[in-house]
Amino acid sequence: MNPTRILIIDDEPQIVRAIKTNLEARDYQVHTASDGREGLRLIGDIDPDLVILDLGLPRMSGIDVLVQARQWTQTPILVVSARSGDQDKIAALDSGADDYITKPFSIGELMARVRANLRRRPADTGTSLLQTPDFTIDFSLAEVRRGDELIHLTPLEWKIVAVLANSEGKLVTQRALLHAVWGPQYGDETGYLRVHLTHIRRKLEPVPAQPRYFRTEPGIGYRFHANTPDGAPSSS
């Protein structure tokens, strides 16, 4: 039986050492990262059973790690933070955290929360890579490549690609896509989507005027297809 893998993403060496020591004493396999970008990469690389995440991280905030990780994985994420305000807790939970514990904490409470969150881990957490015949989407690095070439996407373009690709084969309504990318206050600005989808298709589609991957359901929304051997076009 494979050991349970736990990833700690925290830049405080003393905290990391204390948590790691106690987890390893209970036969967990522990991996660590000291900044947000490294942590996000490791989530994709090792597919941990649980992530213990600090919010105040260098290079990428804990909130950003949560938002990006939730685009492809449902691995339980336990936030461990010195931020004790209600707004910090709400922001973390709304961004995808499963649990929140405030520093300082007792090891007993932390271990109890670890056990509780491990019981919630879904059987299938998906993959951080999605390959098509023309490009590869790497959710963990938030990037798209054509072979070895990195395709430059703006932050908004990436969000649209990630939302659609994460729902591969499913219809995403215009309103749902606007909410996911711009926020719940947006719902009728469909022109935003048309403009950005045009740019995305120019960058990723073999024939932008005849989209194979990013297809439009006229008046309803969009649908992403990773494998389209027939190359059937949709309305743009």
pLDDT in tens, 55-83: 999 988 999 899 888 877 788 999 998 88
pLDDT for 125 equals 45
| Ranges of CATH 3.40.50.2300 domains, the chain | 5-118
Q: Are 116 and 105 in contact (CB under 8 A)?
A: no
* pLDDT score of 235: 42
**Quick one: pLDDT at residue 166?**
83
Predicted confidence at residue 233, as pLDDT, reads 41
Query: Cis peptide leading into 48, omega within 30 of 0?
Result: no
Q: What is the pLDDT of residues 81-108, one digit of tens each?
A: 888 778 888 888 988 899 999 988 999 9
Q: Where in the chain are all domains bearing CATH 1.10.10.10?
A: 129-224
Exposed / middle / buried, residue 64 (Cβ in 10 Å: 0-12, 13-18, 19+): middle
Question: Mean pLDDT, to the nearest integer, of 149-175?
Answer: 89
Q: What are the tens digits of pLDDT across the range 1-20?
A: 678 999 999 999 999 999 99
Residue 208 has pLDDT above 80, yes or no: yes
Classified by CATH at the fold level, domain 129-224 comes out as Arc Repressor Mutant, subunit A (1.10.10)
- 54 pLDDT more than 90: yes
pLDDT at 122: 61
Q: Which of 157, 181, 174 is nearest to 222 (CA)?
A: 174
pLDDT confidence tier of residue 231, bands split at 50, 70 and 90: very low
Q: Please state the rounded mean pLDDT for residues 193-203.
A: 95
Q: Is 60 exceeded by the pLDDT of residue 175?
A: yes
Cα–Cα distance measured from residue 115 to residue 132, given in angstroms and rounded to the nearest whole number:
38
Label residue 117 by pLDDT band (50, 70, 90): very high
Q: At residue 119, does pLDDT exceed 50?
A: yes
pLDDT at 178: 84
Would you give the DSSP letter of residue 52?
Answer: E
* Highest CATH level, class, for 5-118: alpha beta
